[in-house]
Amino acid sequence: MNIDHEYRTDISRGWNRKHILGLQDLSRDELNIILNQASEFKRLANIGETKLTPLAGTVVANLFFEPSTRTRISFGLAAKRLSADTVDFTASGSSLSKGESFVDTAKTIEAMGVSYVVVRHKTPGAPQLLAQHLDANILNAGDGTHEHPTQALLDIFTIREHFGKIGGLTVTLVGDILHSRVARSNIWGLKKLGAHVIVCGPTTLIPNDIEALGVEVSNSLDDVIERTDCLNLLRIQFERQRGHYFPSIREYAHLFGMNKQRINRAKEDVLILAPGPINRGVEITPDVADGPHSVILGQVSNGLIIRMACLYLLHLQRIASLGTAG
Amino acid sequence: MKSLLIKNGRIIDPSQGLDVQGNLLVEAGKITGLCDDTATADEVIDATGLIVSPGFIDLHVSLCEPGFEEDETIETGTAAALAGGVTSLGCLPNTAPVVDDRSSAEFILLQAARASNCHVFPLGAVTKNNEGKELAEIGQLVAGQAVGFTDADKPIENAEIMRCALEYTRMFDRPILNRPQVSELTEKGQMHEGFHSTVLGLKGIPAAAEEIMVNRDIALAELTRGRIHLMCVSTQNSVAQIRRAKAAGIQVTADVTPHHLTLTDQMLETYDPNYKVLPPLRSQEHIDALIEGLKDGTIDVICSDHTPHAAEKKTDEILGADFGIIGLETLLPVCLQSLITPGHLSWSELISKLTVGPARILGLAKGTLASGADADITLINPDIRYVLERNLIKSSSHNTPFLGKELQGRAEVVIVSGEVRYRADN
Ligand SMILES: [Zn+2]
């Protein structure tokens, strides 16, 4: 029931990072370590090894200061698959009780024997803050509009699984780049692994300075669809639109929605990702969402193994640091 | 009252074009003048190695009393001012209640007299309750000794109200101090809009949010022949517009803060709320333009924009944190670091921005060491290096990004009305 020790250390050689706060910080090698570790977990899962024991006896805290059912369940299950105990904290409102700071809350929970903290928060930089104040290893589950590293890693993992590589591919991120933490993390990760990245959306949803990250900017999906290997359709976050970034949902769907006509003009093996929940009929028409190019459900299961890989690598770092500390 | 002799200092007084080594005599609370080595006095201060400057004047400071005593009081704020070498300050009406009538201005004067630290000059509200809707009782406020008018951190958004305010204050020859900022463009913004806001995922505030209102205010000052003072300008294009307006003879003045001359938007990478200020910290090309503006006289004044916040208002998460940092006690060292050390300004030019400049705008007979002037004097130690520790800070708030940093330069001795009110601890 346990992973072969020799093989494991081979995959994780070179990993000594305490936290996973974002893909901006990670090197190409570190990204590959995570992806390879995830491949290994996927191989084990495919042969029926779904319950592994490396984190037995440890506690993973899932601190969700911003609601997200899918991500919370995915992280919780990842921890359980590695045999960790979990504690969940979900803040109901956007803020905590008066006078109690976010760091204080996290410290209180950490005091319950927690070694790994998964944190989702509406404020950019919240995981960095915990990394400064806690002893636990921190895993960012999305901080405001900053980064969402595990979502990007699962996107990248899914692309690599399909094409066998990342280098040389053209990946187009479509939609609300301005407010998207998924886009930011994806850009860092994909660029480091050698992809050509296009960000595509209405001018109002693309930040002015995004070219400095080494991406191509397009305001026309029709212009870029033919040379795209992989489309990642970001969810339009209606709650952020305030009614003036674009005139109507119908117009958005007309300009940037993925539909049959656009599929017909795309490469034959174009891959379509969407970090759900998707708005059917907006970012993507139902026939395309459920069609042969779409790997939306595959992404969900890959999300689980990516999160397992991240937790597991943080665990290896922790053991190594405890070993050297004494 | 004791007479004071300040010996062997480098006396710099830009109001008289003075930069000499010598002695300065003070009698009965007034400056007597330069004197030779034979002079005597009740008290002698050895100013060897120190710069003898007119006391600094900070154009606009938040003292938070009444209403926000958890952040600062007039007593603690003026103590911080003294420790920073500031002998006079303009006190913003961002209080609760707002200083929008005569009695509220007089309350500020009363508390300042009780504290007996530095001089405090009330700035009155332009509009009732700083709401931007109806003019406050400006004439009554003048009677209550208000020296200028401002809605403090709230920009005067309504152009018609601004026009009336500029016309009305012409009767009293008082300036309107406005914070140029179009709120539709700053809403929910956390930092300068640019490369770093994109990477950090924090909503940006574009430079245009400031520049649009700078343009409007200049147009209205031209129309009304009123006096507009633009607070805390921070962008390249603001400086260019002010430069053109001054050349055209429009009555516009401007100030800049030391932190906008030193820190860039890149500092937000740490998500430290102590870098969250309004206007936001900008990029290097904006800083370069601000320094150019100081050098050629486009920007008249450097002021701390002292904005104290109790710890719970500068929470650990950046989205929840209030804007602003304290600045009185770091005013001099940060100016030294950003302007003197790199050779952008001479000491005389810097002191001018801290004395003559603000005195002119507020119409104060201060900021000079001329014979007969009030003896408000700051003795500067330009060489001393120290780490800014919490216990050195006299302000009751500690929201500053310079905490724990090494600084150079400080006020060594501060004299107000001929009385030594502050000496730096050794
Ligand atoms: Zn200012």
Structure tokens at B128: 């009732």
Domain membership of residue B217 (yes or no) is yes
Amino acid at A316: L
Q: pLDDT of B323-374, one tens digit each?
A: 999 999 999 999 999 999 999 999 999 999 999 999 999 999 999 999 999 9
Residue B362 neighbours by CB distance under 10 Å: 24
**Which of B193, B201, B318 has the CB atom closest to A184's CB atom?**
B201
Residue B286 in this model has a pLDDT that exceeds 90: yes
Which whole-number Å values give the CA distances from B35 to B40, B370, B380, in the listed order? 10, 13, 20
The arithmetic mean of pLDDT across residues B65-75, rounded, is 95
Is residue A103 within 8 angstroms of chain B, CB to CB? yes
Structure tokens at A253: 């769907």
* CATH 3.40.50.1370 fits domain A10-148+301-324: yes
**B200/A212 CB distance under 8 A:** no
Is residue B269 within 8 angstroms of chain A, CB to CB? no
What is this structure's pTM?
A: 0.89
Q: Is A118 in contact with A60 (CB distance < 8 Å)?
A: yes
CA of A119 to the centre of ligand 1 (A): 38
Q: Could you tell me which chain B residue has the CA closest to the CA of A145? A: B201
CA distance A188 to A242: 28
Q: Is B26 in contact with B33 (CB distance < 8 Å)?
A: no
Is residue B143 within 8 angstroms of chain A, CB to CB? no
For the four alpha carbons of B195, B198, B200 and B202, in that order, the dihedral sign comes to positive
**Chain B partners within 8 Å of A207 (Cβ):** 197-198, 204
* CATH 3.40.30.10 fits domain A150-299: no
Note if B305 is an active site residue. Answer: yes
**Chain A partners within 8 Å of B316 (Cβ):** 101-103, 129
Give pLDDT, residue A94: 44
Give pLDDT, residue A236: 85
Helix or strand or coil: residue A172? strand
**Chain B partners within 8 Å of A24 (Cβ):** 199
CA distance A188 to B87: 51
Confidence band for B26, pLDDT divided at 50, 70 and 90: very high
Q: Is B254 in contact with B196 (CB distance < 8 Å)?
A: no
Q: Is A171 in contact with A197 (CB distance < 8 Å)?
A: yes
Domain membership of residue B148 (yes or no) is yes
CA distance B184 to A66: 27
Picking from A21-25, A283-287, B94-98, which range would have the lowest pLDDT averaged per residue? A283-287
- Please check if A151 is assigned to a binding site: yes
Distance from the A8 Cα atom to the nearest Cα atom in chain B, whole angstroms: 34
Residue B258 in this model has a pLDDT that exceeds 90: yes
Check for a shared fold between A10-148+301-324 and A150-299.
yes
CA distance B306 to B81: 9
Cis peptide preceding B333, ω within 30 of 0: no
CA of B149 to the centre of ligand 1 (A): 14
Structural domain for B120, as ranges: 55-367
In the numeric block, the tokens 């050098």 are attached to: B295
The catalytic position among B217, B305, B374, B376 is: B305
Q: pLDDT of A57-77, one tens digit each?
A: 999 999 999 888 889 999 999
Q: Residue B46: beta bridge partners?
A: B7
- The count of structural domains within chain B is 1
Q: Between vectors from CA A23 to CA A19 and to CA A25, what angle results, nearest 5°?
A: 65
Q: Residue B422: beta bridge partners?
A: B414
Residue A20 in this model has a pLDDT that exceeds 90: yes
Q: For chain A, what are the domain ranges?
A: 10-148+301-324, 150-299
Backbone region of residue B173 per phi and psi (left: phi > 0; alpha: psi in -120 to 50; beta: other values): left
Residue A235 in this model has a pLDDT that exceeds 90: no
Domain membership of residue B23 (yes or no) is no
Structure tokens at B16: 């008289």
Confidence band for A326, pLDDT divided at 50, 70 and 90: very low
Amino acid at B242: I
Domain membership of residue B413 (yes or no) is no
Backbone region of residue B258 per phi and psi (left: phi > 0; alpha: psi in -120 to 50; beta: other values): alpha
Give pLDDT, residue A4: 47
Q: pLDDT of B224-237, one tens digit each?
A: 999 999 999 999 99
Q: Could you tell me which chain B residue has the CA closest to the CA of A94? A: B320
Give pLDDT, residue B119: 98
CATH of the domain at B227: 3.20.20.140
Residue A6 in this model has a pLDDT that exceeds 50: no
CA distance B71 to B199: 32
DSSP string, B354-390: HTHHHHHHHT-S-S---TTSB--EEEEEEEEEEE--G
